[in-house]
């Protein structure tokens, strides 16, 4: 479809593709205006109600002119298909922003976004239109933190018959439906109020109130019959006032909810005033337990390893005593953590815990097993009590700091659980945190071990304990470092790079192939003349291949265990 003409519009590139439609970027040939061109999937052209849904979206949007609602320019049916021409929005869907970039949105920022969403929905309601499918995926957040609302395919003009759905039919997205939508009852603006409440819950907690593992029937049953879980039980950063607003928005009975968006705005603005006089000291260091006089760099010299380990465990003990004495709730920082019925990973697993989930702590004293693991006891949000390794949980502010180290969800998932607290300690020691955020970020770009990424793991020092390497980039000046950590300890090496790089693991031996390690061997020609040839060898232990994106060069990074030093060898082009 790219390169084709559509009336006065030229289709230039594909933006997104789904089962129902494809979205292209295009340009008006005369006006030069950049546009989004949504095309209905040709396979669905003849399916009952589908084409009508796209036309309904065009008709609905044509009635709306608002800065936080996408603008429609045209609706076209021709031999190429069925199209809507819309305002081109540069940004990211709110659901992807929550998943990959922000996690729980800090309440002051969340309120600013919510007010924009309420302005858009309130304006739509003033035109007697209900959306019926409000969810994070139908809001775009721009680089300027502006909200744009879109996808009005199942919107309904109040007072008119629902011509694209039959009476009694459930419409919307299950996780965000109101009880009235689930029951297939007649709907009014208060169904959008309910869906906004669920969306606000997602924004301030980073999670949905219902597990994605539930069946659709189980979700419907919870929506209709069970009270929603408290947002404050999932994320401690949610204020009591915000929780009260969300609960009123998601009341089971429409009469118990907010009756319009203006009422929600009033209560949100009251919370916003409490933040106006709060000032933040950007130089404040939180949970900085770094001993004074510490050397800034700690190369791997044998006579320093023990000192580094002692310092690391002293910090962990200090953190443990401090947090257990001041917190009865912690956050899971491991990706696949479990609660066990004993203080051993061989014990029976009682409950699966997700990253970011809260855990009520019951431990008064730390229990250290023979393998050196510190265990605590806690109760999950599902009321299950059990044991969990101490380094798999963290108090609220440390959890926020750990969350801020990672640029996206991939980076969190690719970082082994045992290294998350190790990384946090490194960031604290190097004073990378400003309040609960870090200017330096860890990126995880790929899950394929054969592809370059920002993270890799391997047996770099040859002792069969998993080691970890990552690239951290500074958001301000784009500089980057390669960090290598060994044996799930604070023992590390940091290497500065001028250009942006990516990395991947090279396996030792024949599996990793031959690489130039700086050695040559001599060959002789038939006339007796001798010349040197690069020697390609198998790696003695796992190494790292570093790719310089700008220079398009490869460098092998290996640890010389005998001399305790890192060797970087540029590979011939």
Asked whether residue 322 carries a pLDDT value surpassing 80, the answer given is no
Helical axes 189-205 vs 107-126, angle rounded to 10°: 170
Helical axes 420-429 vs 396-405, angle rounded to 10°: 90
Fold of 92-276: Transferase(Phosphotransferase); domain 1 (1.10.510)
At 165, the pLDDT band (50, 70, 90 cuts) reads: very low
pLDDT digits (tens, 9 = 90+) for 217-238: 899 999 999 999 998 887 777 8
At 11, the pLDDT band (50, 70, 90 cuts) reads: very high
- Fold match between domain 5-87 and domain 92-276: no
Asked whether residue 312 carries a pLDDT value surpassing 60, the answer given is no
Beta carbons within 8 Å of 32's beta carbon, 6+ residues apart:
none
Helices (H), 69-209: 94-97, 107-126, 179-182, 189-205
Answer with the residue of higher pLDDT: 321 or 214.
214
Q: For position 211, what pLDDT does the model report?
A: 77
pLDDT digits (tens, 9 = 90+) for 75-130: 888 888 889 899 999 888 998 888 877 778 888 999 999 999 999 999 989 988 88
Asked whether residue 320 carries a pLDDT value surpassing 50, the answer given is no
Q: How far is CA 396 from CA 41, 235, 403, in A?
A: 46, 8, 10
Backbone angles phi, psi at 218, to 5 degrees: -65, -40
| Residue bearing tokens 């990959």 | 100
pLDDT digits (tens, 9 = 90+) for 408-447: 888 888 899 889 989 999 999 999 988 778 889 998 765 5
Per-residue HEC secondary structure of 414-469 comes to HCCHHHHHHHHHHHHHCCCEECCEECEEECCCCCCCCCCECEEEECCCCCCCCEEE
Asked whether residue 318 carries a pLDDT value surpassing 80, the answer given is no
Q: Which residues pair with 548 in a beta bridge?
A: 501, 553
pLDDT digits (tens, 9 = 90+) for 514-532: 888 888 888 877 677 888 8
Q: For position 216, what pLDDT does the model report?
A: 87
At 366, the pLDDT band (50, 70, 90 cuts) reads: low
pLDDT digits (tens, 9 = 90+) for 389-411: 888 999 888 988 998 899 888 88
Q: d(Cα 359, Cα 112) in Å, to the nearest integer? A: 29
Single out the residue of 135, 139, 92, 91 nearest to residue 113, CA to CA. Answer: 139
Q: For position 161, what pLDDT does the model report?
A: 40
Asked whether residue 560 carries a pLDDT value surpassing 90, the answer given is no
Q: Which residues pair with 495 in a beta bridge?
A: 482
Residue ranges of domains in the chain = 5-87, 92-276, 302-417, 433-570
Answer with the residue of higher pLDDT: 170 or 337.
337
Answer with the residue of higher pLDDT: 490 or 301.
490
What's the CATH number for 5-87?
3.30.200.20
| Residue bearing tokens 């082009």 | 573
Asked whether residue 155 carries a pLDDT value surpassing 60, the answer given is no
Q: 302-417 domain in CATH 1.10.150.120?
A: no
Single out the residue of 138, 179, 129 nearest to residue 159, CA to CA. Answer: 129
| Residue bearing tokens 């800090």 | 106
| Residue bearing tokens 């990074």 | 557
Q: For position 48, what pLDDT does the model report?
A: 66
Beta carbons within 8 Å of 229's beta carbon, 6+ residues apart:
209, 381
| Average pLDDT taken over every residue of the chain | 81
The percent of residues in the chain predicted with pLDDT above 90, rounded, is: 32
């Amino acid at each position: 479809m790219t390169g084709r003409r559509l009336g006065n519009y030229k289709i230039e590139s594909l933006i997104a593709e789904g089962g129902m439609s494809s979205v292209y970027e295009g340009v008006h040939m005369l006006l030069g205006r950049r546009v989004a061109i949504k095309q209905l999937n040709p396979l669905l052209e003849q399916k009952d109600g589908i084409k009508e849904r796209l036309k309904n979206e065009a008709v609905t949007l044509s009635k709306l002119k608002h800065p936080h609602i996408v603008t429609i320019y045209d609706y076209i049916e021709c031999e190429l298909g069925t199209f809507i021409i819309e305002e081109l929005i540069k940004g990211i869907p709110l659901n992807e922003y929550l998943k990959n970039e922000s996690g729980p949105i800090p309440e002051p920022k969340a309120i600013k976004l919510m007010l924009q969403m309420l302005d858009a929905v309130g304006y739509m309601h003033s035109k007697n239109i209900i959306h019926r499918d409000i969810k994070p995926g139908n809001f775009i957040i721009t680089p300027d933190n502006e909200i744009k609302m879109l996808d009005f395919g199942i919107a309904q003009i109040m007072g008119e018959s629902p011509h694209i759905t039959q009476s009694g039919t459930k419409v919307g997205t299950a996780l965000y439906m109101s009880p009235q939508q689930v029951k297939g009852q007649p709907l009014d603006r208060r169904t959008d109020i309910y869906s906004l409440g669920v969306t606000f819950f997602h924004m301030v907690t980073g999670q949905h109130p219902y597990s994605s593992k539930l069946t659709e029937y189980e979700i419907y049953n919870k929506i209709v019959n069970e009270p929603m879980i408290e947002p404050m039980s999932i994320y401690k950063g949610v204020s009591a006032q915000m929780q009260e607003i969300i609960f009123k928005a998601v009341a089971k009975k429409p009469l118990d909810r907010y009756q319009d968006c203006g009422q929600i705005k009033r209560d949100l603005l009251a919370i916003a005033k409490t933040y106006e006089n709060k000032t933040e000291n950007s130089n404040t260091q939180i949970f900085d337990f770094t001993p004074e006089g510490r050397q800034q760099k700690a190369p791997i010299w044998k006579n320093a390893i023990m000192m580094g380990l002692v310092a690391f465990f002293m910090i962990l003990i200090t953190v443990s005593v401090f947090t257990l004495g001041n917190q009865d709730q912690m956050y899971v920082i491991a990706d696949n953590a479990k609660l066990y019925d004993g203080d051993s990973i061989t014990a029976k697993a009682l409950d699966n815990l997700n990253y970011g989930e809260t855990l009520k702590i019951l431990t008064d004293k730390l229990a250290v097993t023979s393998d050196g693991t510190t265990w605590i006891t806690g109760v999950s949000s599902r009321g299950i009590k059990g044991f969990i390794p101490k380094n798999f949980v963290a108090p609220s502010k440390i959890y926020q700091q750990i969350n801020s180290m990672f640029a996206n969800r991939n980076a969190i998932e690719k970082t082994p659980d045992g290294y998350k607290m190790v990384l946090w300690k490194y960031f604290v020691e190097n004073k990378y945190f400003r309040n609960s955020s870090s200017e330096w970020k860890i990126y995880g770009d790929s899950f394929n071990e054969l592809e370059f990424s920002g993270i890799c793991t391997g047996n770099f020092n040859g002792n069969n304990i998993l080691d970890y390497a990552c690239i951290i980039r500074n958001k301000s000046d784009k500089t980057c470092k390669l960090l290598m950590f060994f044996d799930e300890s604070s023992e590390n090496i940091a290497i500065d790079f001028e250009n942006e790089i990516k990395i991947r693991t090279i396996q030792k031996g024949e599996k990793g192939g031959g690489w130039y390690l700086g050695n040559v061997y001599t060959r002789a020609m038939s006339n007796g003349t001798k010349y040197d040839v690069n020697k390609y060898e198998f790696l003695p232990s796992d190494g790292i291949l570093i790719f310089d994106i700008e220079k398009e060069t490869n460098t092998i990074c290996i640890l010389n265990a005998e001399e305790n030093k890192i060797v970087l060898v540029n590979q011939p082009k």
